[in-house]
Homo-oligomer: A and B are copies of this chain.
Amino acid sequence: MRIYFTFEPRPNLREPLVKEFPQVDFIFENGLSNDELQKADVLVTYGEDLTDENIQFAKKLKWIFVASAGIEKMPAQAIIERGFLVSNVRGIHKTPMAESMLAHILAIKRALPWVYDQQKKSEWSKKAKQTELRDSTALILGPGAIGSEVGRLLQAFGVVTIGCNRSGNEAANMNDMVSFDQLIEALPKADIVISVLPKTEETTHLLKEEHFTAMKNDAIFMNFGRGNLVEESVLIHAIQSGEIGYAVLDVFEQEPVAADHPFWTLPNVIVSPHISSHSSRYVERSLEIFKPSLEKWLRGETDLENVMDLSRGY
Protein backbone atom coordinates (compact mmCIF):
# COMPACT_ATOMS: atom_id res chain seq x y z
CA MET A 1 0.00 0.00 0.00
CA ARG A 2 1.55 3.27 -1.16
CA ILE A 3 0.16 6.59 0.05
CA TYR A 4 1.29 9.74 -1.68
CA PHE A 5 1.07 13.11 0.11
CA THR A 6 1.51 16.11 -2.19
CA PHE A 7 2.43 18.23 0.85
CA GLU A 8 4.88 17.69 3.69
CA PRO A 9 3.48 17.63 7.23
CA ARG A 10 5.92 18.73 9.95
CA PRO A 11 8.15 15.91 11.30
CA ASN A 12 6.27 15.85 14.64
CA LEU A 13 3.07 15.01 12.72
CA ARG A 14 4.62 12.88 9.96
CA GLU A 15 6.68 10.56 12.15
CA PRO A 16 3.84 9.26 14.38
CA LEU A 17 1.78 8.59 11.24
CA VAL A 18 4.56 6.51 9.66
CA LYS A 19 5.07 4.63 12.93
CA GLU A 20 1.37 3.96 13.40
CA PHE A 21 0.98 2.39 9.94
CA PRO A 22 4.12 0.28 9.34
CA GLN A 23 2.35 -1.64 6.56
CA VAL A 24 2.06 1.54 4.48
CA ASP A 25 4.73 3.15 2.27
CA PHE A 26 4.29 6.89 2.77
CA ILE A 27 5.66 9.30 0.18
CA PHE A 28 5.74 12.97 1.23
CA GLU A 29 6.52 15.47 -1.50
CA ASN A 30 5.95 19.16 -1.86
CA GLY A 31 3.90 19.18 -5.09
CA LEU A 32 2.48 16.55 -7.45
CA SER A 33 4.54 14.50 -9.91
CA ASN A 34 3.09 12.06 -12.44
CA ASP A 35 5.86 9.65 -11.62
CA GLU A 36 4.75 9.24 -8.02
CA LEU A 37 1.06 9.47 -8.88
CA GLN A 38 1.51 6.46 -11.12
CA LYS A 39 2.61 4.29 -8.21
CA ALA A 40 0.15 5.60 -5.57
CA ASP A 41 -2.81 3.64 -4.16
CA VAL A 42 -4.02 6.62 -2.13
CA LEU A 43 -3.51 10.33 -2.81
CA VAL A 44 -3.53 12.93 -0.02
CA THR A 45 -3.77 16.46 -1.42
CA TYR A 46 -5.01 19.96 -0.63
CA GLY A 47 -7.08 19.53 -3.80
CA GLU A 48 -5.44 22.30 -5.81
CA ASP A 49 -2.75 20.34 -7.66
CA LEU A 50 -4.62 17.55 -9.46
CA THR A 51 -5.51 18.20 -13.14
CA ASP A 52 -7.34 16.39 -15.92
CA GLU A 53 -3.93 15.67 -17.48
CA ASN A 54 -2.56 14.04 -14.29
CA ILE A 55 -5.48 11.72 -13.79
CA GLN A 56 -4.47 9.42 -16.66
CA PHE A 57 -1.24 8.59 -14.80
CA ALA A 58 -3.14 7.46 -11.71
CA LYS A 59 -3.18 3.80 -12.74
CA LYS A 60 -3.45 2.24 -9.29
CA LEU A 61 -5.30 5.03 -7.47
CA LYS A 62 -8.51 4.16 -5.59
CA TRP A 63 -8.96 6.86 -2.92
CA ILE A 64 -8.26 10.60 -2.81
CA PHE A 65 -8.20 12.25 0.61
CA VAL A 66 -8.63 16.01 0.22
CA ALA A 67 -7.23 17.99 3.19
CA SER A 68 -9.54 20.89 2.40
CA ALA A 69 -13.23 21.66 2.69
CA GLY A 70 -13.70 22.79 -0.92
CA ILE A 71 -13.18 20.85 -4.15
CA GLU A 72 -13.73 23.65 -6.65
CA LYS A 73 -10.32 23.14 -8.22
CA MET A 74 -10.54 19.35 -8.62
CA PRO A 75 -11.14 17.73 -12.06
CA ALA A 76 -14.54 16.39 -10.98
CA GLN A 77 -15.61 14.82 -14.28
CA ALA A 78 -12.38 12.84 -14.73
CA ILE A 79 -12.55 11.63 -11.11
CA ILE A 80 -16.15 10.52 -11.49
CA GLU A 81 -15.28 8.63 -14.69
CA ARG A 82 -12.47 6.78 -12.96
CA GLY A 83 -14.69 5.99 -9.97
CA PHE A 84 -12.21 7.17 -7.31
CA LEU A 85 -13.50 7.40 -3.78
CA VAL A 86 -13.03 10.99 -2.58
CA SER A 87 -13.26 12.09 1.05
CA ASN A 88 -12.37 15.39 2.65
CA VAL A 89 -12.01 17.24 5.97
CA ARG A 90 -15.49 18.76 6.06
CA GLY A 91 -16.10 20.40 9.42
CA ILE A 92 -12.40 21.12 10.05
CA HIS A 93 -13.06 24.87 10.05
CA LYS A 94 -15.73 24.82 12.73
CA THR A 95 -13.36 24.98 15.71
CA PRO A 96 -11.11 27.85 14.58
CA MET A 97 -14.05 29.79 13.12
CA ALA A 98 -16.24 29.42 16.21
CA GLU A 99 -13.29 30.39 18.43
CA SER A 100 -12.66 33.47 16.26
CA MET A 101 -16.30 34.51 16.50
CA LEU A 102 -16.36 34.11 20.28
CA ALA A 103 -13.05 35.99 20.48
CA HIS A 104 -14.52 38.96 18.59
CA ILE A 105 -17.79 38.95 20.55
CA LEU A 106 -16.09 38.76 23.95
CA ALA A 107 -13.46 41.32 22.96
CA ILE A 108 -16.22 43.83 22.19
CA LYS A 109 -18.27 43.03 25.32
CA ARG A 110 -15.17 43.26 27.53
CA ALA A 111 -13.63 46.29 25.75
CA LEU A 112 -10.34 44.69 24.66
CA PRO A 113 -9.74 47.14 21.77
CA TRP A 114 -9.95 49.94 24.35
CA VAL A 115 -7.63 48.07 26.77
CA TYR A 116 -5.03 47.62 24.01
CA ASP A 117 -5.25 51.29 23.00
CA GLN A 118 -4.82 52.46 26.59
CA GLN A 119 -1.75 50.26 26.90
CA LYS A 120 -0.22 51.81 23.77
CA LYS A 121 -0.55 55.16 25.57
CA SER A 122 0.83 53.70 28.88
CA GLU A 123 -2.34 55.11 30.40
CA TRP A 124 -3.94 53.58 33.50
CA SER A 125 -7.67 54.23 33.35
CA LYS A 126 -10.70 52.27 34.48
CA LYS A 127 -13.16 54.02 32.16
CA ALA A 128 -13.69 50.98 29.95
CA LYS A 129 -17.24 50.52 28.70
CA GLN A 130 -17.72 46.88 29.53
CA THR A 131 -20.83 44.78 29.53
CA GLU A 132 -21.58 41.05 29.68
CA LEU A 133 -22.32 38.43 27.06
CA ARG A 134 -24.50 36.43 29.49
CA ASP A 135 -28.26 36.71 28.90
CA SER A 136 -27.80 38.08 25.39
CA THR A 137 -29.70 36.71 22.40
CA ALA A 138 -27.88 35.64 19.23
CA LEU A 139 -29.46 35.05 15.84
CA ILE A 140 -27.44 32.65 13.69
CA LEU A 141 -28.02 32.68 9.94
CA GLY A 142 -27.04 29.24 8.65
CA PRO A 143 -26.91 26.93 11.70
CA GLY A 144 -24.96 24.12 9.98
CA ALA A 145 -21.71 22.60 11.30
CA ILE A 146 -20.05 25.97 11.97
CA GLY A 147 -23.18 27.84 13.07
CA SER A 148 -24.15 25.07 15.48
CA GLU A 149 -20.68 25.05 17.01
CA VAL A 150 -20.96 28.81 17.60
CA GLY A 151 -24.41 28.16 19.08
CA ARG A 152 -23.02 25.53 21.43
CA LEU A 153 -20.34 27.89 22.74
CA LEU A 154 -22.74 30.84 23.02
CA GLN A 155 -25.15 28.69 25.04
CA ALA A 156 -22.30 27.87 27.46
CA PHE A 157 -22.07 31.65 28.04
CA GLY A 158 -25.79 31.80 28.86
CA VAL A 159 -26.81 33.18 25.48
CA VAL A 160 -30.19 32.37 23.91
CA THR A 161 -29.67 31.17 20.33
CA ILE A 162 -32.10 31.58 17.45
CA GLY A 163 -31.22 29.71 14.28
CA CYS A 164 -32.40 30.90 10.89
CA ASN A 165 -32.41 28.76 7.75
CA ARG A 166 -34.57 28.45 4.65
CA SER A 167 -37.05 26.00 6.14
CA GLY A 168 -36.99 26.97 9.79
CA ASN A 169 -36.36 23.28 10.55
CA GLU A 170 -34.60 22.33 13.74
CA ALA A 171 -30.81 22.68 14.05
CA ALA A 172 -28.36 21.69 16.78
CA ASN A 173 -27.71 24.03 19.73
CA MET A 174 -30.49 26.47 18.85
CA ASN A 175 -33.10 27.46 21.46
CA ASP A 176 -35.44 28.54 18.71
CA MET A 177 -35.64 28.42 14.92
CA VAL A 178 -37.07 30.76 12.30
CA SER A 179 -37.18 30.55 8.51
CA PHE A 180 -35.72 33.11 6.11
CA ASP A 181 -39.28 34.45 5.70
CA GLN A 182 -39.56 35.10 9.45
CA LEU A 183 -36.11 36.70 9.74
CA ILE A 184 -37.24 40.30 9.91
CA GLU A 185 -39.57 39.58 12.84
CA ALA A 186 -36.78 37.81 14.76
CA LEU A 187 -34.08 40.47 14.26
CA PRO A 188 -35.32 42.96 16.91
CA LYS A 189 -34.70 40.29 19.60
CA ALA A 190 -31.04 39.76 18.73
CA ASP A 191 -28.06 41.41 20.44
CA ILE A 192 -25.76 39.55 18.06
CA VAL A 193 -26.53 38.65 14.44
CA ILE A 194 -24.10 36.14 12.91
CA SER A 195 -24.07 34.89 9.33
CA VAL A 196 -22.16 31.80 8.28
CA LEU A 197 -24.27 31.35 5.14
CA PRO A 198 -22.61 30.03 1.97
CA LYS A 199 -22.77 31.89 -1.33
CA THR A 200 -25.85 30.91 -3.29
CA GLU A 201 -28.39 32.78 -5.39
CA GLU A 202 -30.73 32.80 -2.42
CA THR A 203 -28.19 34.33 -0.01
CA THR A 204 -27.07 37.09 -2.40
CA HIS A 205 -28.20 40.38 -0.88
CA LEU A 206 -30.45 38.43 1.52
CA LEU A 207 -29.92 41.23 4.05
CA LYS A 208 -31.29 44.59 2.95
CA GLU A 209 -31.61 47.98 4.59
CA GLU A 210 -34.90 46.98 6.26
CA HIS A 211 -33.10 44.14 8.07
CA PHE A 212 -30.54 46.51 9.58
CA THR A 213 -33.32 48.92 10.52
CA ALA A 214 -35.00 46.03 12.35
CA MET A 215 -31.85 45.23 14.38
CA LYS A 216 -31.17 46.72 17.82
CA ASN A 217 -29.14 49.92 17.70
CA ASP A 218 -26.41 48.27 19.73
CA ALA A 219 -26.49 44.94 17.86
CA ILE A 220 -23.23 43.33 16.81
CA PHE A 221 -23.51 42.17 13.19
CA MET A 222 -20.97 39.54 12.11
CA ASN A 223 -20.46 38.22 8.59
CA PHE A 224 -18.28 35.09 8.62
CA GLY A 225 -20.07 33.43 5.69
CA ARG A 226 -19.66 35.07 2.30
CA GLY A 227 -19.50 38.68 1.14
CA ASN A 228 -22.50 38.34 -1.17
CA LEU A 229 -24.89 38.47 1.82
CA VAL A 230 -25.22 42.24 1.90
CA GLU A 231 -24.30 45.16 -0.36
CA GLU A 232 -21.45 47.08 1.21
CA SER A 233 -23.24 50.38 0.77
CA VAL A 234 -26.15 49.05 2.86
CA LEU A 235 -23.77 47.93 5.60
CA ILE A 236 -21.88 51.23 5.60
CA HIS A 237 -25.15 53.11 5.88
CA ALA A 238 -26.29 50.89 8.79
CA ILE A 239 -23.09 51.65 10.72
CA GLN A 240 -22.98 55.36 9.88
CA SER A 241 -26.62 55.94 10.77
CA GLY A 242 -26.32 54.01 14.05
CA GLU A 243 -28.83 51.34 13.06
CA ILE A 244 -26.39 48.78 14.45
CA GLY A 245 -23.63 49.06 17.05
CA TYR A 246 -20.81 47.00 15.57
CA ALA A 247 -19.92 45.15 12.39
CA VAL A 248 -17.29 42.40 12.49
CA LEU A 249 -16.49 41.29 8.96
CA ASP A 250 -14.38 38.32 7.91
CA VAL A 251 -15.72 38.26 4.33
CA PHE A 252 -16.33 40.99 1.75
CA GLU A 253 -17.88 41.58 -1.66
CA GLN A 254 -14.39 42.37 -2.96
CA GLU A 255 -11.35 40.68 -1.42
CA PRO A 256 -8.80 41.92 -0.65
CA VAL A 257 -10.43 45.09 0.70
CA ALA A 258 -8.78 48.08 -0.99
CA ALA A 259 -6.53 50.27 1.15
CA ASP A 260 -8.84 53.27 0.70
CA HIS A 261 -12.06 51.39 1.54
CA PRO A 262 -14.15 53.04 4.30
CA PHE A 263 -14.35 49.75 6.25
CA TRP A 264 -10.78 50.19 7.50
CA THR A 265 -11.50 53.45 9.27
CA LEU A 266 -15.22 53.42 10.09
CA PRO A 267 -15.69 53.40 13.86
CA ASN A 268 -17.09 50.13 15.22
CA VAL A 269 -16.19 48.14 12.13
CA ILE A 270 -13.67 45.32 12.54
CA VAL A 271 -11.97 44.04 9.38
CA SER A 272 -10.75 40.45 9.76
CA PRO A 273 -9.02 39.65 6.45
CA HIS A 274 -10.87 36.35 5.76
CA ILE A 275 -8.66 34.47 8.22
CA SER A 276 -11.15 33.20 10.77
CA SER A 277 -10.74 29.59 9.63
CA HIS A 278 -6.93 29.65 9.75
CA SER A 279 -5.10 27.63 12.36
CA SER A 280 -1.58 26.38 12.99
CA ARG A 281 -3.22 23.04 13.84
CA TYR A 282 -4.82 22.58 10.41
CA VAL A 283 -2.61 19.69 9.24
CA GLU A 284 -2.83 18.03 12.67
CA ARG A 285 -6.63 18.21 12.51
CA SER A 286 -6.61 16.87 8.94
CA LEU A 287 -4.54 13.87 10.02
CA GLU A 288 -6.94 13.27 12.94
CA ILE A 289 -9.67 12.85 10.31
CA PHE A 290 -7.43 10.88 7.94
CA LYS A 291 -6.22 8.22 10.40
CA PRO A 292 -9.54 6.51 11.25
CA SER A 293 -10.40 6.50 7.55
CA LEU A 294 -7.05 4.93 6.72
CA GLU A 295 -7.65 2.24 9.35
CA LYS A 296 -10.96 1.40 7.71
CA TRP A 297 -9.42 1.47 4.25
CA LEU A 298 -6.72 -0.99 5.32
CA ARG A 299 -9.48 -3.32 6.58
CA GLY A 300 -11.09 -3.10 3.14
CA GLU A 301 -13.94 -0.85 4.29
CA THR A 302 -15.08 2.07 2.15
CA ASP A 303 -17.62 3.80 4.42
CA LEU A 304 -15.13 6.55 5.26
CA GLU A 305 -15.89 9.84 6.99
CA ASN A 306 -16.88 12.74 4.72
CA VAL A 307 -17.17 10.80 1.47
CA MET A 308 -17.96 13.31 -1.26
CA ASP A 309 -20.39 13.17 -4.12
CA LEU A 310 -18.50 15.06 -6.80
CA SER A 311 -21.48 15.07 -9.16
CA ARG A 312 -23.29 17.23 -6.61
CA GLY A 313 -20.23 19.27 -5.71
CA TYR A 314 -20.00 18.42 -1.98
Which of A's residues lie within 8 Å of B, judged by CB? Answer: 95-96, 99-100, 102-104, 106-107, 109-113, 115-116, 118-119, 122-126, 128-134, 152-153, 156-158, 255-257, 259-261, 264-265, 270-276, 278-281
Contacts and interface: CB of A to CB of B under 8 A. Distances in A.
Given A110-B103, A279-B130, A119 B157 contact: no
Contact of A126 (B132, B158, B278, B279): B278
Contact of A278 (B106, B128, B255): B128
B95 A102 contact: no
A278 B114 CA distance: 14
Nearest to A285: B132
B109 A103 contact: yes
23 contacts: A95-B132, A95-B158, A96-B132, A99-B132, A103-B107, A106-B106, A106-B107, A110-B276, A113-B116, A115-B271, A116-B270, A122-B260, A122-B261, A122-B265, A124-B255, A124-B256, A124-B259, A126-B273, A126-B278, A130-B275, A130-B280, A131-B281, A156-B156
A280 B116 contact: no
Contacts of A264: 119, 122
A29 B107 CA distance: 35
A278 B130 contact: yes
B265 A130 contact: no
A274 B126 CA distance: 7
Nearest to A109: B99
A273 B124 contact: yes
A115 B153 contact: no
B132 A279 contact: yes
A-B pairs, 3 with minimum CB distance: A103-B106, A156-B156, A124-B256
A124 B261 CA distance: 11
Contact of A280 (B118, B131, B273): B131
Contacts of A280: 129-132
Contacts of A133: 99
Contacts of A130: 96, 100, 275, 278-280
B271 A119 contact: yes
A134 B256 contact: no
A125 B275 CA distance: 9
Given A152-B156, A273-B125, A96 B110 contact: yes
A128 B157 CA distance: 27
Contacts of A109: 99, 103
